[in-house]
Structure 1
């Protein structure tokens, strides 16, 4: 379920994005549990709800995994704060219905999605992922926001996201919360991947900031149930660049 980045109170019955997102999730889940035909709900969530930040804001936990929930008592970037709150509260609302009236709930909290697209323009997630290569300041701010929120940036290929949804549908033992990302990188590492096979790409120094942070990825729940990621970080970045070239966002 999509969550808007901006909320317009004059065109909505809800006071903010969070209230609207939670209400939308509740309506959908109530309909599913009352239908007597729906057996499983698969919710596409976001890793912005899974920050390993400590509740007191003193730093990060050692690992990022399914036990992590973004602390909503901390202050975040004003432009994205409502989005973080709404994604966190909406995911919790959806998961609260797991097992109700026999309905299983799967929440796939996806990392920053890259790869290719059938759309006519580069998605915001893909644009943020290669923002250092395109020297796109506004999208780079999103990449850095994710890095500061999550310690590093979880990334995943579009095809792997699709396969994870199919895997969740076809396997009865998959229910509950899962993080969906194949790699967990610093933005400086992403810059290195962009330049590795494209040395002609010039990345301005202002887009390379090494946090030297050592938060580690601790999620293996999907893999432990048999799921296998097929696309590594280099392939994700390379496919993003080829897609951006095809759509005219970058010259390679």
Structure 2
């Protein structure tokens, strides 16, 4: 979710030399052009003692190749290296590790990495909010809905403008049977992302459980119209098919 934009910030967040920062910037740029070559460059740099930045660039190269679990490991190693040296980049590197683990489907490790990111209090404001949001995703995926709710409520306080926070909050409320909360939160998501297929899909899911078939049909139709080939659009089309023609 935030793997790549953190790379540029990390280059100036810690006690790296200007030469290391320049080499890191070149390595990051290479990940966007030839990720395999960037991975080789990062490996060479690590052998030469590149440390945190070399490991982080390896993580970014793996991420560009969508090799999410090796990316998570590389970011983990970078974070651990940063912590050993009192490097301020550690928390953000743990976030990157968590994001990569989420993308790779390892929700247990994602939760652990995000625990580490939030543990020291180094993340504040929107960064902390997004980390809580990501940790909520990990907890929800492992069935820990109670902890997921705590994280989502914190995310809503810290990043109230993020429609994903409201969408996930609505989805969790629906799954735990709190339809009143689900209706309120999906309404907030729709205010912030009125053309988002995933938001429209969830609005339909909540509406049908609330007994509002017409509203569900309208929402699912909007999801299909917004993005017919996306997972949300396909799911909405399937829901409409199962619903059948209006009575």
The two structures share one fold, judged by TM-score above 0.5: no
Q: Which is helix-richer, 1 or 2?
A: 2
Structure ID, larger Rg: 2
Q: Which has the higher contact order (CA 8 A, sep 6+)?
A: 1
Scaled by the length of structure 2, the TM-score of the pair is 0.28
Scaled by the length of structure 1, the TM-score of the pair is 0.28
